[in-house]
Chains A and B, each alone.
Chain A
Amino acid sequence: KAGVTQTPRYLIKTRGQQVTLSCSPISGHRSVSWYQQTPGQGLQFLFEYFSETQRNKGNFPGRFSGRQFSNSRSEMNVSTLELGDSALYLCASREKGPYGYTFGSGTRLTVV
Chain B
Amino acid sequence: AQSVTQLDSQVPVFEEAPVELRCNYSSSVSVYLFWYVQYPNQGLQLLLKYLSGSTLVESINGFEAEFNKSQTSFHLRKPSVHISDTAEYFCAVSSNFGNEKLTFGTGTRLTIIP
Contacts and interface: CB of A to CB of B under 8 A. Distances in A.
Interface stretch (A12-20, A68-76, A103-111): A103-111
A45 B100 CA distance: 11
Contact of B101 (A6, A58, A105, A106): A58
Interface residues of B, number: 23
Nearest to A88: B43
Interface residues of A, number: 20
A105 B42 contact: yes
Interface stretch (B15-23, B44-52, B67-75, B78-86): B44-52
B104 A98 contact: no
A60 interface: no
A51 interface: no
A104 B43 contact: yes
Given A42-B104, A56-B99, A98-B96, A105 B49 contact: no
A43 interface: yes
A6 B41 CA distance: 13
A98 B94 contact: yes
Most B-side CB within 10 Å, residue of A42, A56, A100: A100
Given A56-B101, A98-B94, A105-B42, 16 more contacts: A4-B43, A42-B105, A42-B107, A43-B102, A43-B107, A45-B101, A58-B101, A98-B49, A98-B96, A98-B100, A100-B34, A100-B46, A101-B44, A103-B36, A105-B41, A105-B43
Interface of B: 32, 34, 36, 41-46, 49, 51, 90, 94, 96, 99-107
5 contacts: A35-B102, A42-B104, A98-B94, A103-B36, A106-B43
